Structure 1
Amino acid sequence: MSTPKQRVVVVCPGRGTYNAPEWGYLKRHHADKSALLESFDDYRRQHQQPTLTELDEEKAYSLKLHSRGDHASGLIYACAYADFLDIDQDRYEIVAVTGNSMGWYISLAIAGALDAQNGLHLVNTMGGLMQERLIGGQLLIPWVDDDWRPDWDARARYLALADEICKSGEGQAYLSIDLGGMMVFGADTPGMAALNRGLPKKDHFPMRLLNHAAFHTPLQEPVRAMAKEALGPALFGRPEIPLIDGRGHIWSPWSTDHKALWDYTLSHQLTQPYDFSAALRVAVREFAPDKLIILGPGTTLGGAVAQSLILSNWQDLDSKAAFKQRQEDNALIVSMGMPEQRPIVLRQ
């Protein structure tokens, strides 16, 4: 008698996940996908850009070079898409796909709403537009305590600070991403300075995210207009797997309007806050997965996923300690960017 498949939600990473430890990720894990990677490299050559192979293997890792939007986006997309192909779908049934920020673009390709090449075209175009304009920046700050329990008063203070900065005319500052126990704020230069002054200092927070624009805020209105002109709705189709966006909305294979999906991706998703916590809450409550698989590269998204599950009180998780015990008993989250976890989900 065959073993039933485990139900899994696939989570796609966003910007900032390809760093020095990830250099060579494609070469280490995906040398068997030469045809796919060569097609991606051909695309980059046609756009007079360093190929992903060159960035991953030949050009020594440089934060200034590799973290640029027009390079990081393609690298992260290729790593994540190739990781997805390695999941053993004889053992795992993928019931939904979601992602964080730029991970939404990757999710579109993973779920089949874009083919592999159009997925690269989307991330490369958006990464290029963001790098070209580089409007504003982002700051990251935790709002949970050391055991990942929510501090609702702290959250309210941080949101009030951003609101006051806008109302005072001192600058523009907005919530950009609800990232589990972290809040990411997007702001213009004066707004960034005001946030830095007003947010509490602890360890290395608030943290400025290098080469990140003020994604998911009204500051991206100029990019929205350019993106819609550069990328038409014909690129998009219906997903083959349910997609969960940055509002927690489910795009179904049976009812998705591809033009509405295009419009969300290049309008709301660019200029309004991205609620990754809501996406995870919907993923577990609506699809009841046995596991969540986080695609590589990088290992930084695991904490935000775990914190989102705690905020949802999924399976009675209420703290970091409870989550760690759950992971030891029977891993709920598998991160393909972690060498010790990767083999759990690979084809056998």
Structure 2
Amino acid sequence: MMKPKQRALVVCPGRGTYNKTELGYLQRYHRQQQSWLSQADNYRAKQQQVTLTELDSAAEYSLKQHSAGDNASSLIYACAYCDFLTIDQDQFEIVAVTGNSMGWYISLAVAAAMESISALTLINTMGNLMHQSLIGGQVIYPLVDANWQPIEGRRAHLLEMMAAINQQTDCELTISIELGGMLVFGGNELALKQLTEALPLEQGRFPMRLFNHAAFHTPLQQVISLQAKQLLTQDLFQQPHLPLVDGRGKLWSPYSTDLALLWNYTLGCQVTETYDFTKAIQVGVKEFAPDKVIILGPGTTLGGAVAQSLIAINWLGWQAKEDFIERQKTDPFIISMGLEEQRSLIAPQ
């Protein structure tokens, strides 16, 4: 007798997830997806860009080349989409899809709201626009302590600091991403300089400036939004086959989505307003009650943000980091395909 399928919420990664340890990801895990990768490579070659196969099979990881927006976005998409294709559909029923930041674009492909190569067109175009302009940047700073408990008064203090910086001449600073136990600030160079100088060192690495990242999800990207709407038309979109949760926590339902609204959100406020990944995860588990949360690769950095988002609503009775770790030891609720030992729980052997 076959075991019933487990319900899974799929989470798509954003920028910054393909790093030195991920070099060769496509070669290691996705040789069987060569037909799709060839289509993607042909698209990139026609744009006179380095192919994804060339990038992934490079002898060494190059921070300058691999993290640049015109390369990183499409490379991460290819890894994540191919990961999705390898999920054992006999074992899992995908009940909804969400993502972090650029992961929203990947979600559109996973949920079939775009054909996979149309999604590559979207992702590659946005990556190019961001790379060419590289308006502003991002800085990340924690809201929680080492046990993933909220630091009393931290959020209020950071918001006060942000407001004070915005009072200064020529400074523009806002919240780019709500990322579980982290805040990602987006702003222009002068504002980010003020912020990093004012913030105390935390956990030996924060405040952390994200290399080659523009001020995503802020009003500074208004010009990118306008350019994208001129280059990318609504006919790239289609009715999703799976429910989507966007960066506001809004649901987009299969077969009843207004494609004009989806186009406008994707290239409009998704580009210029705060991306609330925390809410997206919380809405995803509340609405769909998954048995598992599957985080597509590459990278392993998103698991903490997902767990922190769940701890904040006491999901599964989790109140702290130790609760999450204990559950993961015996029956993982969050499965990251970027982890060798966990992807084996998902992909057919």
What TM-score do the two structures reach when normalised by structure 2?
A: 0.98
Amino acid at match of 2:122: L
Aligned partner of 2:297 in structure 1 is 296
Whole-Å separation in 2 of the counterparts to 1:53 and 1:16? 19
Whole-Å separation in 2 of the counterparts to 1:330 and 1:34? 33
Deviation per CA, 1:224-255, whole angstroms, max 9, x where unpaired?
11010010111011110000000000000132
Deviation per CA, 1:18-76, whole angstroms, max 9, x where unpaired?
00000000000001111100000000000000000000003521001100000000100
Aligned partner of 1:178 in structure 2 is 178
Aligned partner of 2:274 in structure 1 is 273
How far the C-alpha of 1:315 sits from its partner, in A, is 1.1
Aligned partner of 1:134 in structure 2 is 134
Whole-Å separation in 2 of the counterparts to 1:271 and 1:163? 18
Which structure 2 residues correspond to residues 218-297 of structure 1 after superposition, within 5 A? Answer: 218-297=219-298
Amino acid at match of 1:103: G
Aligned partner of 2:27 in structure 1 is 27
Aligned partner of 1:324 in structure 2 is 325
* Structure 2 unaligned blocks of 5 or more: none
State the SS of the aligned residue for 2:2. coil
Whole-Å separation in 1 of the counterparts to 2:34 and 2:152? 49
Aligned partner of 2:187 in structure 1 is 187
What TM-score do the two structures reach when normalised by structure 1?
A: 0.98
Aligned partner of 1:216 in structure 2 is 217
How far the C-alpha of 1:151 sits from its partner, in A, is 2.0
State the SS of the aligned residue for 1:185. strand
Aligned partner of 1:74 in structure 2 is 74
Amino acid at match of 1:136: G
State the SS of the aligned residue for 2:319. coil
Deviation per CA, 1:173-223, whole angstroms, max 9, x where unpaired?
100000000110001011011111222212111000000000000000110
State the SS of the aligned residue for 1:296. coil
Please, which moves more after superposition, 59-68 or 112-121? 59-68
Whole-Å separation in 2 of the counterparts to 1:83 and 1:255? 27
Whole-Å separation in 2 of the counterparts to 1:37 and 1:212? 26
Whole-Å separation in 2 of the counterparts to 1:238 and 1:163? 41
Which structure 2 residues correspond to residues 150-189 of structure 1 after superposition, within 5 A? Answer: 150-189=150-189
State the SS of the aligned residue for 2:322. helix
State the SS of the aligned residue for 1:32. helix
How far the C-alpha of 1:111 sits from its partner, in A, is 0.3
How far the C-alpha of 1:318 sits from its partner, in A, is 0.8
Which structure 2 residues correspond to residues 57-136 of structure 1 after superposition, within 5 A? Answer: 57-58=57-58, 60-136=60-136
Aligned partner of 2:36 in structure 1 is 36
Amino acid at match of 1:296: G
Give the root-mean-square deviation of aligned CA atoms.
0.9
Whole-Å separation in 1 of the counterparts to 2:305 and 2:275? 13
Please, which moves more after superposition, 55-64 or 179-188? 55-64
State the SS of the aligned residue for 1:58. coil
Residues 198 and 313 of structure 1: CA distance in aligned 2, closer, same or farther (over 3 Å): same
Query: Alignment identity in percent?
Result: 56
Whole-Å separation in 1 of the counterparts to 2:170 and 2:229? 31
* Structure 1 unaligned blocks of 5 or more: none
Whole-Å separation in 1 of the counterparts to 2:33 and 2:212? 29
Please, which moves more after superposition, 58-67 or 11-20? 58-67
Amino acid at match of 2:5: K
How far the C-alpha of 1:7 sits from its partner, in A, is 0.4
